[in-house]
Chain A
């Protein structure tokens, strides 16, 4: 690892930024190394005689477990569905594992399960297997959920950063940072009111709609931990292309913008739960944009930039002022500032 002095797991290892990346690459990949895993895609792609299967897993530990716009149950379903969907897979079935703390209220559990059921119904997928474990009071924080999912990848669909070409357009399906700011607000009673609401949503319907009528979709990523900034860096790394995005085109709700300005957070690195970034050949950008905007989870879709061929892949942003700055991978956690 680059950080030789780090001997223990830090919170920043879970931020989705550079440390998470290094931990996965230098420890997990080193131990488990295989062709499928090493691609580090949102879902693993397994080839079988009857077709390609996408397989993924994700764990949810959000605090608080309920927040404006959703709860842990909704994002546990949507997150896994989205990991399958961005590979071009039709979600087939989900599993759900629950680790609960002694004393956790059954009523709250019931609400979480109802919310999972509703999200699964919306995504058109069933939760077909599961597991429950209970640990002593204090050994876990209320409830942790793990979901896994499988899906079939349509025969003619190949989505991957390696498909990205010079000049491709970069599109997002809506406002950034809503989920992260909402959770931070709820967790710390920051008191930001109004339109700060989690965006947790299953994106498989929207993605299906796009893939069924567009020919030149190169790659899709769902934007979760680490935000848009980190995802773009990962894709730049994997594709070998640079990305130039325009700050003026990045959708941001006013509530989120105010909250980020006050807390000193960069919305490019704040988590989303119902957002994706999509790479498409320039000539098809308008078509994708219109398709997105005609869907309820893509109303605020925008073309935010384009792909460039350069010697060293890098993500840069043209600022509102007309200047340019680098967009790095998230370093550590984002922390609130002093003044």
Chain B
């Protein structure tokens, strides 16, 4: 787009002639691999922001037919289990509770069909915030209410929420709580890799998660599973560069963890973000949509900060809720199906009236396909 004054982005990130040349190279590499192995190449972009960027840039039309990009379990809303969504909705129904949340959670449906949006229309006090720190302001202004921030997200979101909890702790704010439903990316990759039927040829790894955790955390993908990995940024040329690097790794037969997003990602990650997470959270098992419980795949509040846990405070138990019948969000986030494979897609399931979370979240694969046409 034409910028009146440009000091933020580089035009090269979406340059069409660069992209054109890159795709010629990619097509050449893909056909070389295909002629050697006879197998189609299936790369997974783990992060929902990558899924959106691919759809938004319209790059799919340049992919050779032997190359498929599949979405992965990297959209925070999409991987939240149905039971946990029901627990959030149960808290929103409690008297004198103010729910504060990022926007994406507003329209994810509980198993009884209601969502935070509809609860707000019915009178529940639910506020969309841009920063979890704003929730502390809401708590200070509403001392007679309990303010709950919906803590959903990966290693990108967890540090700022940890920071918020720490502020609440040092500021002795007693009416603030979070729902600790954080998830970790490396265990999700393990779950994807454990599926022998749907082999992934390479991973485009999430850029911002890697800014926080560094790149060593992915070593097991290469060492144990021999699957190529590239950490990529979110501009179209980042993703195209990442695909190119993955193809070269396959051709060389030497899988490794490479970084394309070196302008932001350090080998060891962001130490202070890691430190605040360690201070406030501990690793625990977590419930994933479609996958179920994965050991050591989530973050919950540790003993020193346990009193901020909304589920414990309000005594909300675990729900064994069922996912919507016929919805294939689970398969989509595991790279086993594409949105177009779902019979509800674009018919019964649209962003404003979605059945599954992949259609709701601004990072969901179905929302991306619906909005931009794949």
**Which residues of A pack against B, CB within 8 Å?**
2-3, 5-6, 8-12, 18-19, 175, 188, 190, 195, 247-254, 257-258, 261, 263-264, 267, 300, 302, 317-326, 328, 331-333, 335-339
Decide if B8 touches A261 in the complex (CB within 8 Å): yes
- The 30 sampled A-B contact pairs (Cβ below 8 Å) are A10-B117, A10-B118, A10-B121, A188-B134, A253-B5, A254-B4, A254-B5, A258-B8, A258-B9, A261-B9, A317-B58, A319-B56, A319-B58, A319-B236, A320-B14, A320-B15, A320-B57, A321-B14, A321-B19, A322-B20, A326-B372, A331-B351, A332-B107, A332-B351, A333-B103, A337-B363, A338-B104, A338-B153, A338-B157, A339-B156
Task: Please name all residues of chain B whose beta carbon is closer than 8 Å to the beta carbon of A253 when the two chains form the complex.
Answer: 3-5
Decide if B58 touches A321 in the complex (CB within 8 Å): yes
Taking CB atoms and an 8 Å cut-off, the chain B residues in 212-237 that contact chain A are: 236
- When chains A and B are docked, how far (Å) is the Cα of A175 from the Cα of B5? 11
Question: Which of A6, A249, A263, A324 lies in contact with B58, CB distance below 8 A?
Answer: A324
**Which residues of B pack against A, CB within 8 Å?**
1-9, 14-16, 19-20, 49, 55-62, 76-77, 102-107, 113, 117-118, 121-122, 128, 130, 134, 152-154, 156-157, 208, 236, 350-353, 361-363, 370-373
Question: Which residue of B is nearest A263, CB measured?
Answer: B130
Task: Please name all residues of chain A whose beta carbon is closer than 8 Å to the beta carbon of B372 when the two chains form the complex.
Answer: 325-326
Task: Please name all residues of chain A whose beta carbon is closer than 8 Å to the beta carbon of B156 when the two chains form the complex.
Answer: 339
Task: Please name all residues of chain A whose beta carbon is closer than 8 Å to the beta carbon of B113 when the two chains form the complex.
Answer: 5
Decide if B236 touches A321 in the complex (CB within 8 Å): yes
Question: Which of B62, B353, B371 lies in contact with A5, CB distance below 8 A?
Answer: B353
Task: Please name all residues of chain B whose beta carbon is closer than 8 Å to the beta carbon of A335 when the two chains form the complex.
Answer: 102-104, 106, 128, 362
Decide if A257 touches B1 in the complex (CB within 8 Å): yes
Question: Which of A267, A323, A328, A337 lies in contact with B103, CB distance below 8 A?
Answer: A337
Task: Please name all residues of chain A whose beta carbon is closer than 8 Å to the beta carbon of B157 when the two chains form the complex.
Answer: 338-339
Task: Please name all residues of chain A whose beta carbon is closer than 8 Å to the beta carbon of B16 when the two chains form the complex.
Answer: 320-322
Decide if A251 touches B56 in the complex (CB within 8 Å): no
Task: Please name all residues of chain B whose beta carbon is closer than 8 Å to the beta carbon of A324 when the two chains form the complex.
Answer: 58, 61
Decide if A328 touches B3 in the complex (CB within 8 Å): no
For the complex formed, measure the closest distance between the CB of A328 and the CB atoms of chain B, giving whole angstroms: 6
- Highest count of chain A CB atoms <10 Å: which of B2, B103, B117, B154: B2
Q: Provided the pairs A319-B57, A321-B58 are in contact, do residues A331 and B371 lie with their beta carbons within 8 angstroms? A: yes
For the complex formed, measure the closest distance between the CB of B360 and the CB atoms of chain A, giving whole angstroms: 9
For the complex formed, measure the closest distance between the CB of A262 and the CB atoms of chain B, giving whole angstroms: 9
Decide if B1 touches A325 in the complex (CB within 8 Å): no
Question: Which of B62, B130, B154, B370 lies in contact with A339, CB distance below 8 A?
Answer: B154
Question: Which of A10, A332, A336 lies in contact with B102, CB distance below 8 A?
Answer: A336
- When chains A and B are docked, how far (Å) is the Cα of A317 from the Cα of B102? 29
Task: Please name all residues of chain B whose beta carbon is closer than 8 Å to the beta carbon of A320 when the two chains form the complex.
Answer: 1, 14-16, 57, 236
Decide if A323 touches B2 in the complex (CB within 8 Å): no
Task: Please name all residues of chain A whose beta carbon is closer than 8 Å to the beta carbon of B14 when the two chains form the complex.
Answer: 319-321
Task: Please name all residues of chain B whose beta carbon is closer than 8 Å to the beta carbon of A12 when the two chains form the complex.
Answer: 352
For the complex formed, measure the closest distance between the CB of B181 and the CB atoms of chain A, giving whole angstroms: 11
Question: Which of A18, A175, A264 lies in contact with B4, CB distance below 8 A?
Answer: A175
Decide if B102 touches A250 in the complex (CB within 8 Å): no
Q: Provided the pairs A337-B103, A337-B104 are in contact, do residues A328 and B77 lie with their beta carbons within 8 angstroms? A: no
For the complex formed, measure the closest distance between the CB of A193 and the CB atoms of chain B, giving whole angstroms: 12
Decide if B4 touches A331 in the complex (CB within 8 Å): no
Task: Please name all residues of chain A whose beta carbon is closer than 8 Å to the beta carbon of B128 when the two chains form the complex.
Answer: 335-336
Q: Provided the pairs A324-B61, A326-B371, A337-B362 are in contact, do residues A252 and B19 lie with their beta carbons within 8 angstroms? A: no
- Highest count of chain A CB atoms <10 Å: which of B103, B113, B153, B352: B352
- When chains A and B are docked, how far (Å) is the Cα of A321 from the Cα of B361? 24
Q: Provided the pairs A10-B121, A320-B236, A336-B103 are in contact, do residues A18 and B352 lie with their beta carbons within 8 angstroms? A: yes
Task: Please name all residues of chain A whose beta carbon is closer than 8 Å to the beta carbon of B1 when the two chains form the complex.
Answer: 247-252, 257, 267, 320
Known: A175-B4, A254-B6, A336-B130. 9 other contacts (CB 8 A): A6-B353, A251-B1, A252-B3, A318-B58, A319-B236, A320-B57, A325-B57, A325-B372, A337-B362
